[in-house]
Amino acid sequence: MVDTQMTPHITIWEGCDPQLADAISAFSSEWGPYSTLSRRHSIYSLLRERIDPAWASLFRGIHEWAPKVLDTAWVRYRLDLMMRTRLAGDPALNGTLPFSAIAKGLGFKELDVFLQFVGRAVQAKSKAEGRSKLPNLPRMREMERASRSLDNLRELAIRCHAKKPQRSARGKLNALRGGPYCELCGEATELAGYISVGHWPEEDDDDRLRLSSTYCRSHRPKAPFSNIVQAEYLRARRSRADFEQELERLERQSYARPPAALGLSGDALVDEFIRLLCQQREISIYAPRASSGTPDRQHPPLEARVRKEARSMVDAKISDQKKRILVLLCKGMNQSEAAAQLGMSRQAVSKSIDGIPHTYRLDLCTVHP
């Protein structure tokens, strides 16, 4: 059986450490069968092989204080964790601990939070260096490179958190059932939804087996106790190619630094629409922070938000042409000017705008270019 799951490429950001960039490229090209749930192909072993050497050399230009930065970030992370979970104890982090060991000890979701604290510690040290009477410029460049590299490692952590092993191309079925999200949207699958609330529905044992591990209740092919295929499922299946295209664009953009447009659609106006949308919806790994300065965990997981937005865009029929029109309107053009630039009639532009739901009228919202 050939796996239909997308294996997204981890973007290498400008300014990332060259050795780490090569390691992440090799990692993402090999991680197909690896996951946290696979005994034979544990993703931690691939991290140990590919990422650990690059992690050890990441702070080579600032090695005299790098362990202190990591230990400071660790203490602050543990204090934050204790506030969130009332966890007792505060074990120390060895500044030279391998990346794979940190990932295995924390889990990828908490690893992302820890890397945020590391990034903040590096930035604080860089600012302090810049304010000194005799700033060390080579050291400051190394700290900027470390900061950019930490962005890449955050993306790696989040993608590993959602990673499932590929199915074998030789016909062996993967023993794992489905995943946390519906294949056609960002809602939890029926099975994941019932597991998350900690109890099964009040139905008999046979009914439990009918819970879908692939689709949510809205998108499952057939309703419970029915042989009729649901219209919502058919509609979502017909638009699956469009959904996966928008999903890939949004995923790439959600890992970008705020000024960058990385939809990679091949059309600058379409990429700009994706950037503006993610900025307005706050769909980014650069999560909003609470008043305490810690990441705001009230937001749903990034993967769920990206998938829901992709499904919403497809259902609202926001075509690439409509995206172009909206971006031109955001730039201050009127309908006639937008029509002239796109080679359309003004009437066609007006008709397209009328078909756009208000929630996607970015030109009517406060969006900074």
Predicted confidence pLDDT, tens digits, the chain (369 residues): 333 344 456 778 778 888 999 999 999 888 888 887 777 888 999 999 999 999 888 876 666 667 777 888 888 887 777 766 544 444 555 556 788 888 888 888 888 888 888 888 888 888 877 777 677 777 778 888 888 888 889 888 888 887 766 543 333 333 344 568 898 999 988 877 777 665 555 554 455 456 788 889 899 898 877 788 899 999 999 999 999 999 988 888 887 665 667 666 788 899 999 999 988 888 887 655 444 444 444 567 888 899 999 999 999 999 999 999 999 999 999 999 999 999 999 999 999 999 999 999 988 875 544
Please give the pLDDT value at position 106.
83
| CA 91, 95, 97, 103 torsion-angle sign | positive
Q: Which stretch of DSSP H or E encloses residue 238?
A: helix 231-238
Q: 294, 288, 291, 256: which is closest to 73 by C-alpha?
A: 294
Please give the pLDDT value at position 165.
61
Please give the pLDDT value at position 357.
93
Please give the pLDDT value at position 142.
82
Q: Do 46 and 74 meet the contact criterion of CB atoms below 8 Å apart?
A: no
- Helix 231-238 vs helix 240-254: crossing angle, to nearest 10: 70
337: exposed, middle or buried (Cβ count in 10 Å: 0-12, 13-18, 19+): middle
The whole-angstrom separation of Cα 201 and Cα 205 is: 10
Please give the pLDDT value at position 269.
92
Q: 344, 338, 323: which is closest to 278 by C-alpha?
A: 323
**Strand, helix or coil for residue 62:** helix
